[in-house]
Amino acid sequence: MVQRAERVRRGGNAGRPVGNITRGTTNPNRLRRVDRWLAGPQSWRLRTEDAPLVIDLGYGASPTTAVELYGRLAKVCPTVRVAGVEIEPERVRIAKALEHPGLSFHVGGFEVPVPGNPVMVRAFNVLRQYEEADVAAIWALVCSRLSTHGIFVDGTCDEIGRRSTWVALDRGGPLSLTLSLRFGGFELPSEVAERLPKALIHHNVPGERIHTFLQALDAKWLAAAPLASFGNRQRWVESVKRMRDDGWPVQAGPARWRLGEVSVDWSAVAP
């Protein structure tokens, strides 16, 4: 049964998992975009430890996303350990059959009850089922479990992973917002707004930074329309380049932009 999300205290709830049972819906390959980002520009974090720990937090009714995460990260770091964490014991019981060296499953919540400090925690389509007022406490609780070079990714995507967004945080707080879109699956980049993380989704209104950012990205996308004859990839790269030229703190470069990504410093979009 899906429960209404309880209020989350910064220190957690002693003696039991922190959080509530969620719908748990997922699909194979749904999280490929964020996994590609973790296995790409963030892979250096995996090399900071001999056997780095990675958490798939709230993987849902099926362990598919945890299995896929292990497969993708193991290609760049064969010694990685991926732990799927779910608050519903029955989901963990079912997933146990898929355990093997490097992949395990555990009952728990935002307190991340796995020995060691993870270098990556991925929570996708989890916080969107909580109240915005609880986001800061959840962020603080999860980030308190990170290793020195650890990162927490709080994200949301559509049902088949064509539109994804995520906030990246380290132990000091939010670092960036990333949008990742499938070419041909949108008319305007701002259509991703319905998939913004919980911390931002209610702030996409005039006067807020995230709204200004999305409107500016739309404008650059429309201005780059003449490049559409060379393909949407070229049009997107030019759009993001123009955003950077206008002073937006856009991260990475064309190699990432060509994938339909754009990452921007958190300070540029924070509520």
CATH number, position 226: 3.40.50.150
pLDDT at position 10 over 90 = no
DSSP 2-65: PPPPPP--TT--TTS-SS--------TTTTHHHHHHHHTTTGGGGGGSSS-EEEEET--SSTHH
Identify whether 25 is part of a domain: no
71 in helix, strand or coil? helix
CA distances from 240 to 220, 229, 230, 261, 268 (A): 8, 17, 16, 9, 15
DSSP 212-250: HHHHHHHHHHHHTGGGGGG-HHHHHHHHHHHHHHTT--B
**Can you give the pLDDT at residue 3?**
38
Mean pLDDT of the chain: 94
Residue 10 amino acid letter: R
Identify whether 17 is part of a domain: no
Identify whether 210 is part of a domain: yes
Identify whether 105 is part of a domain: yes
**Contact status, residue 62 vs residue 68, Cβ threshold 8 Å:** no
Closest by CA to 63, choosing from 104, 19, 116, is 104
Identify whether 5 is part of a domain: no
pTM (2 decimals)? 0.93
pLDDT digits (tens, 9 = 90+) for 51-94: 999 999 999 999 999 999 999 999 999 999 999 999 999 999 99
pLDDT at position 8 over 90 = no
Angle formed by the axes of helices 64-74 and 32-39, to 10°?
Answer: 30
Q: How many structural domains comprise the chain?
A: 1
DSSP 75-87: TT-TT-EEEEEES
Identify whether 195 is part of a domain: yes
**Contact status, residue 70 vs residue 43, Cβ threshold 8 Å:** no
Cross-sheet strand order for the sheet of 163-170: 103-107, 81-86, 53-57, 120-124, 151-157, 163-170, 173-181, 261-265
Structure tokens at 22: 């969620």
Q: Which helix (H) or strand (E) holds 178?
A: strand 173-181
Structure tokens at 252: 């990475």
Q: Hey, CA dihedral for 255, 181, 149, 122, is it positive or negative?
A: negative
- Distance in angstroms (rounded) separating the CA atoms of residues 245 and 135: 32
Identify whether 175 is part of a domain: yes
Identify whether 174 is part of a domain: yes
pLDDT digits (tens, 9 = 90+) for 107-146: 999 999 999 999 999 999 999 989 999 999 999 999 999 9
pLDDT mean over 235-249:
98
**Can you give the pLDDT at residue 150?**
98
Question: What is the span of the domain harbouring residue 110?
Answer: 32-268
**Can you give the pLDDT at residue 9?**
53
